[in-house]
Structure 1
């Protein structure tokens, strides 16, 4: 499995790997909704942004993460971020996460469009397993992951410590290479529905 940092796009979103030229746009896109950041492992809100950005680039340079800025094709504005991370080529496995969308980008085509691109990119590269995890206290995120058709693998108790110091339980999901044809079809059907709205 060889994952490359390249632009991924479809009708709804353009995923742009982090680079210095878009740092200011990414900062502006993430500087909102502090309550949502409260449940995240790391915060990119306000004064936390520079450290978060540096950490993302450091992980990218080591090949452990590909952070993407999410640009709306409709408006041209950056509306959030997402990543392929915990990249483990020897196990042909990675995670999709570190995902944050501005409130106005939630509930529409942005999330399924991003997941379609990220899952497709990783499976084409040879992945056999892609994990998607979220805070066990975030039912909205879990519902969105289930809607993708991901396998619900249960809850990992006391799994991570958030940036606020809270020890969180993590709800874990996965999409396997054997699941991908069905998951891909469902995502394509959902996105086709948005295209006709």
Structure 2
């Protein structure tokens, strides 16, 4: 079983997701009514319990490490992210299920959260590969992943069925261990400039 750590940066803290976080997640998702987005899945009031239960089930199975994203300045939960598809034997995982309240978007929060996750993945878990997957239609997410320094690998057709029934094509990206030192240096420079 994986123990989900607490990762603390300057502006953000990633702490393990728990059942008691449901009200805070609903409040964060209400900031922009994110549950109405068609290119990602963000839990609304009716879905948050199942969202958390599925994450915690994966945590117990050792394939998921779910986090809430907390803005340190206010102590408020502003979103969620997780390591998932954790594969210890092949030293790889995916960073995903990431969403932020509208007021926390376009701030240093996402960059620092990804920096903390990538640092933990490569330097503590000794990963050789970290991947990201997003909806082909989600231009904002695709651009943000590329800004991290990830490389686009391709499009996985009809990779999943979205809640509205749409067959989603997903874009796959990755950062490998050989690229991490350069990616780390560029992210550190970006965070200093924010």
TM-score range, shorter chain: over 0.9
Moved runs in structure 1, 4+ residues, more than 6 A? none
- Alpha-carbon distance in structure 1 between the residues aligned to 2:114 and 2:35: 24
Provide, for residues 15-59 of structure 1, a one-character-per-residue CA deviation record: whole Å limited to 9, x for no partner: 0111234332223222333332x222x441121111111111111
Secondary structure of 1:15's aligned partner? strand
Are positions 1:178 and 2:185 aligned together?
Answer: no
Secondary structure of 2:169's aligned partner? strand
Q: In the alignment, what sits opposite 1:132?
A: 132
CA contact (8 A) 1:44 1:53 kept: no
Secondary structure of 2:137's aligned partner? coil
Structure 1: gaps spanning 5 or more residues: none
Q: In the alignment, what sits opposite 2:61?
A: 62
CA contact (8 A) 1:69 1:80 kept: yes
Structure 2: gaps spanning 5 or more residues: none
Q: In the alignment, what sits opposite 1:33?
A: 34
Q: In the alignment, what sits opposite 1:83?
A: 82
Are positions 1:23 and 2:22 aligned together?
Answer: yes
- Alpha-carbon distance in structure 2 between the residues aligned to 1:54 and 1:93: 23
Q: In the alignment, what sits opposite 2:168?
A: 168
TM-score by length of structure 1 reads 0.92
- Alpha-carbon distance in structure 2 between the residues aligned to 1:129 and 1:93: 5
CA contact (8 A) 1:3 1:122 kept: no
Number of residue pairs the alignment of both structures matches: 191
Q: In the alignment, what sits opposite 2:45?
A: 46
TM-score by length of structure 2 reads 0.93
CA contact (8 A) 1:43 1:163 kept: no
Provide, for residues 90-148 of structure 1, a one-character-per-residue CA deviation record: whole Å limited to 9, x for no partner: 11110000001001111110111011000111112110000011000011100000011
- Alpha-carbon distance in structure 2 between the residues aligned to 1:3 and 1:188: 27
CA contact (8 A) 2:19 2:53 kept: no
